[in-house]
A and B are shown apart, each in its own frame.
Chain A
Amino acid sequence: MTATHRLELRDICIQLGDQVLLELEAEIGPGEVLTVMGPSGSGKSTLLAYLAGFLAPEFQARGQVLLDGQDIGALPAEKRGMGLLFQDPLLFPHLSVAGNLGFGLPRSVDDKAARVEQALENIGLAGFADRDPATLSGGQKARVALMRLLLSAPCAVLLDEPFSKLDTRLRHEMRQLVFGRLRDAGLPSLLVTHDREDAEDAGGRVIELAH
């Protein structure tokens, strides 16, 4: 499933009224992680909302978002090919583990059940298909959430402080897993965080937001 994608952010400027929240210019190559750091209130979440296509109407944004050379700024969220990983695993509580993994599988995939089973083995959760996600441990939930993201075959990934709610022991392990998988999949990723260790483990460039 290795592919090569490239995410370019050109002259991004997000404003709330007259106030400029952030300005950004960056290029993220295949398998690279760009970390955007800043304290809360610095507009990190707004940046992710803008890139994913959920910017609240009160904000104004300028600039170009190029994914593999194509401007996706005018596309609706579901057509952008941007995957998202949140602070919480957010496994759909009404679906089974397999249902969660299958949710994002593209329609064109033929043998969905086999893909899901293979994916479960891949993250060490073979036989968990029919489980209620609420019965999983924190680490297991995080792994299912990551695999669900990868199965949806995104072209780029946005990470919204995905490790901040894990305990210290698990945090390091999950960082290795997430960054490793994203690199293997050749996906350009943008991580927003206020944790310096996240940035160090990500290993890529770091942009600090002021405010």
Chain B
Amino acid sequence: MRRSEARPMMLHLAPVLIVILLVAPILGGLTMALLPAFGYLPALGGESLSLDPWRALFAQPGIWRSIAVSLASGLIATAVSLAVVLLYLAAVTGSRFDRWIRRLVSPLLSIPHAAAAFGLAFLIAPSGLIARLTSPGLTGWERPPDLLIVQDPWGLSLIAGLVIKEIPFLLLMSLAALPQLDAERRVAMARSLGYRPTLAWWKVVAPSLYPLIRLPVFAVVAFASSVVDVAMILGPTLPPTLAVSILSWFSDPDLDMRFMASAGAILQLGVTASALALWWGLERLVARLMGCWIARGGRERGENGLRLAGKSLILLASVTAFIGIAGLAINSVAGFWRFPDALPGSFTASHWARALPSLAGPIASTALIALVATLLAAVLALGALENEQRTGRHPSRALWLLYLPLIVPQIAFLFGLVVMMEQLGTRPTHALVIFGHLLFVLPYVFLSLSEAYRRFDPRWSHLALTLGASHNGAFCRVRLPMLLAPILTAMAVGLAVSIGQYLPTQLLGAGRVTTVTTEAVSLAAGGNRRVIGVWALVQACLPLAGFIIAIGLPRLLWSNRRAMQGAP
């Protein structure tokens, strides 16, 4: 056949490779957590199946509370982030203020979770910026109050930390899905029937938008119910969330604890699955309520409230995140800083000077891991997408596989993966960590690239072929340069995802591969604000470098090509 002839073997392999890469480690990891969870791990003397690890697990003090906090923070953080995003989208009128908000939100996507969490902690802590600005005037506090605001037992600060990071993610996903819906005409139609604009959006756009962003929402539920780094910084401590407890058991020098940790990993899988099931039930409920609300046909009531909430909530969340980052910066250069003073009494570069020698190694490690993982992901994604174009087949059903590493809790399968690697005698190396990062980088790079790739006018490639270029020639000389901007953006997303990874680095690197993120998170327990400020700020700024290149390089290269300036 003509078609298979024109398709090199390598391209044919790309989609298969992606599926194996994403599915095999997760299945292997889950199996290797499941066996020790029931007492079977010959290397550690577990020869027979038993329920002992589970008995030990449920005998842990506060285990039920850990489970409850994990479950609740997962569901509440997702519900709040989604509500804020939908409220904003409903209230958007295309005004300058709306565009300004959107421009404010998008860089937040690149900031690693840990840095945003530190920023929030610095803001709301008893001696944080908010307390300083309101004291002693409003609060009467002359000294930092003895309140457990950060790491509160209810997980409220954890939820807040998750919300400020998930809002930009869900907003981006929604903005990517919206063009398919022709929202403007739908709203115009509803308005002509007498509905106020914000109500119109809720009644005719939101119900069609939700199914399109369902998988990303599920990913947020799964992430929020099993996150480790944010929970270590903002989550409760006695007891911590389930995921954090599991990590501490796994790192315990007593190797027997591994059995219990494995049972915990399986429990976490169950907790996240329950969170997803509960969310699914919630979807049904909200759909029914929305149905009644739409059927009642109200056209006016609630309009102003909804619009106000839409603009103010997202603004509050984004400004909080930015002030938090500013707080990191201030702390990193603060000298002596008396309590109710809003600004430090003196500034010093000594924290930076002291941190610099120890920063170089982790920064180099972070960059190396991120670059290699992202390059591999980009090559695989481009290969699979190019193959899709040449065969004319669109494997839409395979899409949920991409979400697999984002929906199965990291902590549930990474353990098993570590155990498996130990069994195989693999030493922790950068290569292993890169492989771990690839699992999470690949889905994001692929999802971000696929949209631009599939939207690309096929006539360009047809034209190149009729002018005598080969398929590979058309790819290198036409598709690649014309899609340079979206490819670089996808790679910047990949870099940001890799830079922010905590658990894969920590577990697969066995603590011996240190990145900026593992260093910053490990400082959380110490509580030295100045040092944390330095490391968290570096962590927040690294991904920005990728985005600056992604935006700047095409502009530089195509400075003399007008049609490439606003390219897709």
Contact = CB atoms under 8 A, between A and B. Distances in A.
B301 interface: no
B6 to A, nearest CB: 5
Contact of A93 (B458, B459, B462, B561): B561
A56 interface: yes
B468 interface: yes
B213 interface: no
B5 interface: yes
A78 interface: yes
A78 B471 contact: yes
B470 interface: yes
Interface string A55-77: 01100000000000000001111
Interface in B1-57: 2-3, 5-6
Contacts of A83: 466-467
A10 B392 CA distance: 27
Nearest to A81: B468
Interface string A2-37: 000000000000000000000000000000000000
A132 interface: yes
B475 to A, nearest CB: 12
B427 interface: no
Interface string B467-510: 11111011001100110100000000000000000000000000
A123 interface: no
A104 B468 contact: yes
A106 B468 CA distance: 8
Contacts of B474: 78
A152 B468 contact: yes
B2 A78 contact: no
Contacts of B2: 53, 74-76
B460 interface: yes
A194 B468 CA distance: 28
B470 A78 contact: yes
Interface residues of A, number: 31
A106 B463 CA distance: 15
A56 B477 CA distance: 23
Given A57-B3, A90-B463, A78 B469 contact: yes
A106 B393 CA distance: 31
Contact of B466 (A56, A75, A84, A135): A84
Interface residues of B, number: 34
Contacts of A82: 466
B462 A84 contact: yes
B399 interface: no
A77 B562 contact: no
Contact of B465 (A56, A78, A90, A93): A78
Interface in B538-568: 558, 560-564, 567
A78 B468 contact: yes
B466 A93 contact: no
A112 B211 CA distance: 54
B183 interface: no
B482 A86 contact: no
A192 B224 CA distance: 57
A90 to B, nearest CB: 5
Main secondary structure of the interface of B (DSSP, over half): helix
Interface string A131-147: 01111000000000000
B464 interface: yes
A82 B471 CA distance: 15
A77 B5 CA distance: 12
A78 to B, nearest CB: 4
A52 interface: yes
A44 interface: no
A128 interface: no
Contacts of B458: 54
A92 B482 contact: yes
Contacts of A75: 2
A133 B561 CA distance: 8
Contacts of B393: 57
Contacts of A90: 459-460, 463
B478 A92 contact: yes
B564 A52 contact: no
A64 to B, nearest CB: 15
Contact of B462 (A57, A77, A133, A152): A77
B466 A78 contact: yes
A75 B468 CA distance: 12
A154 B466 contact: yes
A94 interface: yes
Contacts of A88: 459
Contacts of A93: 482, 561, 563-564, 567
Nearest to B1: A74
B6 A76 contact: yes
A179 interface: no
Interface string B438-457: 00000000000000000000
B465 to A, nearest CB: 4
A64 B562 CA distance: 43
The winner among B460, B462, B469 for most chain A CB atoms within 10 A is B462
A137 to B, nearest CB: 14
Given A57-B392, A57-B393, A93-B563, A103 B464 contact: yes
A90 B464 CA distance: 10
Which 6 interchain pairs have the tightest Cβ spacing? A104-B467, A93-B563, A134-B562, A134-B563, A77-B465, A84-B466
5 contacts: A57-B392, A75-B2, A78-B470, A93-B561, A103-B477
Interface of A: 52-54, 56-57, 74-78, 80, 82-84, 86, 88, 90, 92-94, 103-104, 106, 132-135, 148-149, 152, 154
